Structure 1
Amino acid sequence: MTSTTPRTGPQLIAYADRLGGSVAQVAALLRGPLAGAFDGVHLLPFFTPFDGADAGFDPVDHTQVDPRLGTWTDVADLASDHAVMADMIVNHVSADSPLFRDVVARGDASEHAGLFLTLDRVFPDGVSEEDLCRIYRPRPGLPLTPMTLGDRKRLVWTTFTPQQIDIDVDSPAGQAYLDSVLDALTGAGVSLIRLDAVGYGVKTAGTSCFMTPDTYAFIDALTAAAQARGARVLVEIHSHFHRQIDIASRVDMVYDFALPPLVLHTLYTGDTAALRRWLEIRPRNAVTVLDTHDGIGVVDVGPDQIEPGREGLLSREAVDALVERIHTESAGQSRQATGWAASNVDVYQVNCTFFDALGRDRARYLTARALQLFVPGIPQIYYVGLLAGTNDMDLLARTGVGRDINRHYYTDTEVDEALADPLTATLVDLLRLRREHPAFSGDFTVSGEGPDLVMTWRLGERWAQLGVDAAHGTSVVEWNQEDGSVKTCAVTRG
C-alpha cells in the first residue's frame, strides 16, 4: 500500500506535576535535554485542581490554571515554540464545582440548574427498564446517582463517578460553558484540543447514549467552534475500530487506540498479520500512542460491544490471551491494578506500563517504539514510556487507583538518571530522527509476512526504513543522510 502523509513531529504527553513539577519546568525539559525530540506536548489537565478525584479530569474550574502549576502566561510561553494540546473535558465537571454546589443548595432556583443533566431531561415521559439497559457505560452499573438538589431528590447523570457531574451540553448553559472553556484554552495559544470523553457527551432517549447520530452532530459543532478559534481537534474514543474510521473523516485527528494491543500481540505471537491488516485500513489522520495516562485498551481491537456480530481486529480468544500475557509479562502486577482488582472507571483496559507489558525486555521495547514512530500519524510518547518507567506499585498501594500504576511522580534525580540510560537515549535519538528526517513527510509503504515486517518512508532521494523480526523482538532502523551515506540503528537482544 502507498499513502502520502504530511510531516508531523512527535509530541510528549505529561502531567506537569509528575514530570518537572510545573508548566514552566516541562518547558525547560523540552528546551533542554529533550531539545529537538518533540514538536509539541499534550499537557494533561492542569486546571483547578489538577489533583482532584480523577487526576484533573474532574475540574472545579476548567478556565483557570491551578496556581501550583503556573499561569496562562506559562502555557502561552510553552506554546510559543511547541504545539500545546490541552484537554477539553466535555462530559462533566467536579461535584465540588461552585456551580454544582449552588444547584445542590438551591435546586431549580439556582441560575446554574440548566447546566447539569438529570434523568428527567433525557426521559421527560419516563424511562423503561429496556431504555436503561440500552445505555452504554464504561463501567458496571447505571450512569445515575441519587442526589438532593434543593429540596428534591433527583437522579443526576454521572457517567463516570458520582464525583463527576455530567453537563447538559444541549442546554444554553451547557453551550456557554463549553464556549468559555474553548476561549480560555485558545486564548493562551493552545492549538490542539483533545475532546475528552466526548462519545458520552450527548444523551438521547432510546439509544445507547454513546456515539449516536446526535453525538456525531455535537462533535461536528464543537470541532467547528474550535477551528473557528484557530485550533485543531483530537477526538478520544475507545470503541470498535469501525467507529474510529467513521469519526476520522469528520474531525482533524483521532487516536489510533488499536495500535498498542496490536503491537503487543505482534511481539507476543511473532505474527504480524493483524498489525499489517490494520495498517492497510486505519485512518491516516491519527495520533499514535502505545501508552497514555489511561490503561492499555483492548476494546479497540475486540468484537463490537454495542453491535454484536461485528468482528474485531483480534478474536475474543486472542484478546483474552493478550490480557493474560500482559499479566504474565508484568509478573502479575497488572492484574492487581486492572478490572475488579482496583478502583477503575472501566474494566476494558489493562493498567500497566508498556515497558512492564513487554517484560522489561529492552530490545522488544525499543522495537515497539520504532513501530510506533514509523506508523503514519502524529506519535505521542507518554512521559512514563519516554523514561522506560516501571509499574509504581507503591503509588497503587497508597491510592488504590488502578491507573496510578502508570502515573509515577518523577523527581528531578529520577528524570536525570532515566535520560542517562542508553535505552532512553536511543529512544530520544529515534524521536529526533522521526522529527527531522524529510522522508517522514513523504510516501509510506509496508510489506512483509509471518514474523517479518518492513516499513518504509520516501521523499525524493531521501528514505528511512524499519525492519522488524517479531519472532525475536528485534529491529533495524536505517536511513540515508543528505550526502547519501546510510546510518543504521540495530535493536538486538543483549
Structure 2
Amino acid sequence: MTNAVHTNQIQLITYVDRLSGGKISDLHKLLNGQLSGLFDGVHLLPFYPPIDGEDAGFDPSDHTAVDSRLGTWQDIEHLAKDYPIMADMIVNHISAQSPQFLDVLQHGAASKYWPLFLTRDKVFGTKPDATQLSAIYRPRPTPCFTGIRLANGQIVPFWTTFTANQIDIDVDSEPGKAYLQAILQRFTDHGVKYIRLDAAGYAIKKAGTNCFMLPETFDFIAQLSEQARALGMTCLVEIHGYHKTQIEIAKRCDMVYDFALPPLVLHTLFTRNAKALKTWLDIAPRNCITVLDTHDGIGIVDAADHNGEPGLLTDPELDALVEKIHQNSKGSSKLATGNAANNVDLYQVNCSFYDALGQNDGDYLLARAIQLFCPGISQIYYAGLLAAENDVALLQRTGVGRDINRPYFNQDTINQALQKPVVKALLKLIKLRHNMQAFNGSFSHTLSDNTYQLSWQHLGHTASLTLTLDSLTAALAWQNEGEAAELLQLHSLLA
C-alpha cells in the first residue's frame, strides 16, 4: 500500500556545489531570488562527504554528514522550511574511504564492521560457479568484484557493483540494517521530506540469479519504503530497466521515475510520430517523477526490449535515436558514452538534453512542454533549466563521462544563462504551468494522424497541450473556473 502523493508539483534537481555560489545557503538565496515562483521542492543530489569523490557524492564516506564545504544540517533544515527536500539514500554501497571499511582493511574478519560489507564468498562460497558469476547483470563495463588487500596480506574479492571505490553493503545483515536506519533517522531529524533510493535494484544478491531486481529486491524496497513512511517521508525508487518492471515496482512503493519518457520524447520529435509515446502514457505509472535529463545520462534500456519481450521502441528505432543524438551534439556525446569514458553506464547516452536536440530552442521548449503535461511530479535538472551545452572541457579534465552534463555554474554564468531566449521561455512556461489548476485532476490524451493532445481536467478547470507533429509546433489552452479561456502558441514564448 502506497502513500497518496501530491503530484501537481515541479521540482528542481541540482548539485549544491555546481549551481549558485557553492553552498546550501547560496542555493536557498537563488531559489528565493532569481528562481522565485518556479519550484515546489528541490532534489539535492548527494551533499555528503566527499562531494568531489570518484562518483560526485554517490560514494559517501559518511552518509549521515553534510560536506562542510556546502554547509551544515542546519542549512538543510532552513531550506526545507521553504522547499520540501528530496535527498539520496545510497542503499547499495559506501566509500572505500569510509571509517567502517578502513577498519575492515585493518582488522579483517575481526572488525565489527566485517558483516556490513558484501564479498563474493558470502554469496557464492569459496569456490564460486563460473556460470553463476557470468549471469550477474552488469550496469558498468568494470568487474563486479574487486580484490582488495587487507593489512594481513589477504586479498578479498569485495562486491563492487559500480566502481572499486564503492563497496557494496550487505543490506540483510544486522549492521547493514542499522546503517540504513541511521540514515533514515538523520534525514527525518533534519526535515528531509522525500528520499530517493539510489541503486536499489542491485541491493539484493543471490546465487543462481542475475542479482538484479529479484523478488527479494521488491521485498527489500517495500520494507525500506515502509520504514521511511513511518518516519513521515515519501520514498522514490530509482531503477533503470524494462518498462513492465517499472510498472510492477510502482505498485509496491510511493513513487518511481518515468525513465522511459526521455527517449520517447526524443523519438517523437525526431520522427514526428507520437505513437510510441502515446502507448507508454496509456500504461505508465501515475505515481511517478518525470524527467528529461538527470545527473546521469539519457536512458536507453528503459525503452528497450527484454528477454524476448518487445520494448517501447524497437532496436532499429533505438539505434537511430542514439545516432541522432550523436549527430545533433556534433559527436561530443560519443566522447562521453560507452567505453569512450570512465565511470559510465552501458545503457545510457551521456549528453545534455539541449545538445541532444541540436540546441534547437523550439524543439527544446516543446520537449519541456510535453514533460510538464505528463502525469507525475515534473523534475527539472539544473543543467536543463539553464539549457546547458555539453561541457566537453570538464569531461576532458576529469575523464568522467557523465561530467559532460554536470556543469559548474557560478553567479556570473547563471546570470548569462538566464538571459538566453530559450531559458527565459522555459521559465515563463513553468510559471504558466503553475497557474493552471487543472493539474490537480485527471489526465487524458488523444492521437490522430498529425495531432497529439495531452489534456487535464479538474472540477471547472481545463488545460491542454496540442502538438502538431509535422511542423513540431504546439498550442497551450487553459481555463481556470470562472475565468476567460486562454490560448497561447508555444513558440511565442521565445519572442
Q: Tell me, yes or no, whether TM beats 0.5.
A: yes
Question: In the TM superposition, what is the alpha-carbon distance from 1:123 to its structure 2 partner?
Answer: 1.7
2:184 aligned partner: 182
- Residues of 1 paired with 2:35 and 2:479: CA distance? 23
Identify if the C-alpha distance between structure 1 residues 141 and 389 changes in structure 2 by more than 3 Å, giving closer, same or farther.
closer
- Residues of 1 paired with 2:355 and 2:155: CA distance? 47
- Residues of 2 paired with 1:28 and 1:486: CA distance? 35
CA contact (8 A) 2:438 2:480 kept: no
Q: Which amino acid aligns with 1:28?
A: K
2:261 aligned partner: 259
Q: Deviations over 1:374-420 (max 9, x none)?
A: 00000000000001111111101111111011011001011112223
1:335 aligned partner: 334
Higher mean alpha-carbon deviation, 146-155 vs 57-66, is at 146-155
Q: Deviations over 1:414-451 (max 9, x none)?
A: 11122233321221222223333210001211002234
Q: Which amino acid aligns with 2:276?
A: A
Q: Which amino acid aligns with 1:8?
A: N
SS, match of residue 264 in structure 1: helix
Question: In the TM superposition, what is the alpha-carbon distance from 1:6 to its structure 2 partner?
Answer: 4.8
1:15 corresponds to 2:24: no
1:484 aligned partner: 483
User: Which one scores higher on RCO, CA 8 angstroms, separation ≥ 6?
Assistant: 1
Q: Write out aligned runs for 1:399-438 (5 A).
A: 399-438=398-437
Identify if the C-alpha distance between structure 1 residues 488 and 26 changes in structure 2 by more than 3 Å, giving closer, same or farther.
farther
SS, match of residue 65 in structure 1: coil
1:303 aligned partner: 305
Q: Write out aligned runs for 1:58-457 (5 A).
A: 58-124=59-125, 126-151=127-152, 152-304=154-306, 308-457=307-456
1:52 aligned partner: 53
How many residue pairs are counted as aligned between the two chains? 488
- Residues of 2 paired with 1:429 and 1:471: CA distance? 25
SS, match of residue 208 in structure 2: coil
Q: Which amino acid aligns with 1:243?
A: T
- Residues of 2 paired with 1:488 and 1:393: CA distance? 40
CA contact (8 A) 2:28 2:79 kept: yes
Q: Which amino acid aligns with 1:277?
A: T
Q: Deviations over 1:308-333 (max 9, x none)?
A: 11110001111111100100111111
CA contact (8 A) 1:269 1:471 kept: no
Give the fraction of aligned pairs with identical amino acids, expressed as a percent.
52
SS, match of residue 61 in structure 1: coil
Identify if the C-alpha distance between structure 1 residues 413 and 488 changes in structure 2 by more than 3 Å, giving closer, same or farther.
farther
Higher mean alpha-carbon deviation, 234-243 vs 465-474, is at 465-474
Question: In the TM superposition, what is the alpha-carbon distance from 1:481 to its structure 2 partner?
Answer: 4.2
Q: Which amino acid aligns with 1:148?
A: R
- Residues of 1 paired with 2:182 and 2:67: CA distance? 17
SS, match of residue 410 in structure 1: coil
Question: In the TM superposition, what is the alpha-carbon distance from 1:131 to its structure 2 partner?
Answer: 0.4
Question: In the TM superposition, what is the alpha-carbon distance from 1:141 to its structure 2 partner?
Answer: 4.7
Two-structure CA RMSD over aligned residues (Å): 1.5
Q: Deviations over 1:102-122 (max 9, x none)?
A: 111110111111111111111
SS, match of residue 275 in structure 1: helix
SS, match of residue 300 in structure 1: helix
Q: Which amino acid aligns with 1:77?
A: H
CA contact (8 A) 2:256 2:288 kept: yes
- Residues of 2 paired with 1:141 and 1:37: CA distance? 40
CA contact (8 A) 2:344 2:401 kept: no
Q: Which amino acid aligns with 1:51?
A: D
Identify if the C-alpha distance between structure 1 residues 145 and 7 changes in structure 2 by more than 3 Å, giving closer, same or farther.
closer
- Residues of 1 paired with 2:69 and 2:53: CA distance? 13
Question: In the TM superposition, what is the alpha-carbon distance from 1:229 to its structure 2 partner?
Answer: 0.7
CA contact (8 A) 1:272 1:450 kept: no
Identify if the C-alpha distance between structure 1 residues 235 and 337 changes in structure 2 by more than 3 Å, giving closer, same or farther.
same
Question: In the TM superposition, what is the alpha-carbon distance from 1:163 to its structure 2 partner?
Answer: 0.7
* Stretches of 4+ aligned residues off by more than 6 angstroms: none
Gaps of 5+ in 2: none
Q: Deviations over 1:323-348 (max 9, x none)?
A: 00100111111111111111133121
Q: Deviations over 1:340-377 (max 9, x none)?
A: 11113312100000000001110100000000000000
CA contact (8 A) 1:418 1:424 kept: yes
Identify if the C-alpha distance between structure 1 residues 210 and 22 changes in structure 2 by more than 3 Å, giving closer, same or farther.
same
Q: Which amino acid aligns with 1:293?
A: H
- Residues of 2 paired with 1:254 and 1:435: CA distance? 22
- Residues of 2 paired with 1:271 and 1:451: CA distance? 8
Q: Deviations over 1:54-113 (max 9, x none)?
A: 000000111000011011011111111211000000000111111101111110111111
- Residues of 2 paired with 1:423 and 1:82: CA distance? 25
CA contact (8 A) 1:298 1:319 kept: yes
